[in-house]
Amino acid sequence: MITKEYLVFLDRATLIADLRIPAFDHAWIEHPNCAPEEAAELLWRASIAITNKVPITRAVLEACPKLRLIAVAATGTNNVDLDACRERGVAVCNIRGYAQHTVPEHVFMLLLALRRNLLAWRASLQQDVWQKAEQFCLFDHEIHDLQGSTLGLIGYGSVGVGVEHLARAFGMQVLIAERKGAAEVRPGRVAFDEVLARADQISLHTPLTETTRGLIGAREFGLMKRNAVLINTARGGVVDEAALVSALKTRRIAGAGFDVLSVEPPSQGNPLLALNLPNFLLTPHVAWSSREAMQTLADQLMDNIEAFVRGEERNRVV
C-alpha cells in the first residue's frame, strides 16, 4: 500500500501562482521546464505527475510504472496519451472553469480592436496623418459596432458561456453551433455551416482532438461572410493556418484575432508570425493567464490531487 506520494511538476514555470502544500504525506520535486525527451527520466520515481504542456506519451508511461495520476495543469489534455493511460490504469484529471472570465475578456479585446480598426488608426497617427488633416477627425478606416451584430460560438463550455454573457451585454445576437457534421441539431443550437454563413464574428472554444483538428479550413472560410472576423483562443491546430493566411490576404474574411499557434513556442517559425496586416492580431497564448485565473487554476490543481489521494474522482478525464 502506498503511504507516501511522490509528486513531480514537469513545468512549474508555466504557472505564476502560489501552490499550497498537499494535505498528505509526500515528496515534492518541481522543474521550471522540461524538454519532451526528459519526461521519462524525471518521472521514473513519481506516483503523481503534474504537467501543463509537457507531453506524456505511451513511451513515457511505459518507462514510469509507478505513475498513478497525471494531473494536467490546464483544461486541454491533448498532450497526454489518454488511451495508453486507460490501458495502464493511470488516472488523468484536468482543470475546469478557471478561465470563464479571463478568456472571454481577451476575446472581446481582440474583437473590439479588430472591429474598430485599432492597429490601422495607430499606424495613421504614427504616420502623422491626423496631424496633417484639415478637419477634426479621420475617416480613413472603417469602424463597426458590436451592438446588433451576430456572434457565432463554436464550442460551448464554461469559456463559451462566458463569451456569450459578454456578447449579450454588448447587445449582440448569439448563435451556438452544433457539432460539425452532426446528423441532428439539438435544441438551442444552430447547424455548424449555418453559423459560419450567418455570423459577423466567430469565436472558437473547442479542445484540440482528432475530430476538431483542422475544423476551420478553406471550405469553412468559403462559407463565411466577407465582413466576418474569426477569433481563436482555443488551440492552434483547430484552424488550418495556411488557409487562414489565404483568407486574410484575399479579403475572403475581414479579419482574425488569434492567441494560439499550431506549434508553441513557434521556434521554427510560423506563417502567422510574418502576417503583418492591420486586420490580424496575434498574442502569445496569454488569454488564460491573468493572475486571478492562474491562482484559481493552482487551487483547483491541488484540489484534484488531494481528492485523488482520498480515493475520490474529481475532474477526471480517465
pLDDT single digits (tens) 216-256: 999 999 999 999 999 999 999 999 999 999 999 999 999 99
Residue 3 is predicted with a pLDDT of 75
- Give domain status of residue 317, yes or no: no
- Give domain status of residue 269, yes or no: yes
Q: 89 with 107, same domain? A: no
Residue 2 is predicted with a pLDDT of 55
Q: Report the percentage of the chain scoring pLDDT > 90.
A: 92
pLDDT single digits (tens) 12-42: 999 999 999 999 999 999 999 999 999 999 9
Give the whole-angstrom CA distance, residue 91 versus residue 249.
Answer: 45
Which residue carries 462559407 as its cell?
223
- Give domain status of residue 198, yes or no: yes
Q: 244 with 304, same domain? A: no
CATH number where 70 lies: 3.40.50.720
Q: Is the pLDDT of residue 109 over 90?
A: yes
Which residue carries 506516483 as its cell?
47
**Residues 136-162, mean pLDDT to the nearest whole number:** 95
- Give domain status of residue 117, yes or no: yes
Which residue carries 495556411 as its cell?
242
Q: 174 with 194, same domain? A: yes
Active site residue 264: yes
Q: 202 with 113, same domain? A: yes
Residue 76 is predicted with a pLDDT of 87
Beta bridge partners of 280: 256
Catalytic site residue from 12, 220, 235, 241: 235
Residue 87 is predicted with a pLDDT of 97
Q: 85 with 225, same domain? A: no
- For the beta sheet containing 26-30, the strands, ordered from the edge strand earlier in sequence to the opposite edge, are 26-30, 5-9, 48-51, 69-72, 91-93
- Give domain status of residue 138, yes or no: yes
Q: 274 with 300, same domain? A: no
Q: 93 with 119, same domain? A: no
Give the domain extent around 53. 5-97+292-309
Q: Is the pLDDT of residue 1 over 70?
A: no
pTM of the model: 0.88
Catalytic site residue from 96, 141, 252, 285: 285
Q: 264 with 297, same domain? A: no
Active site residue 285: yes
Catalytic site residue from 41, 264, 312, 313: 264
Q: 92 with 109, same domain? A: no
pLDDT single digits (tens) 68-92: 999 999 998 989 999 999 999 999 9
Give the number of domains in the chain.
2
- Give domain status of residue 314, yes or no: no
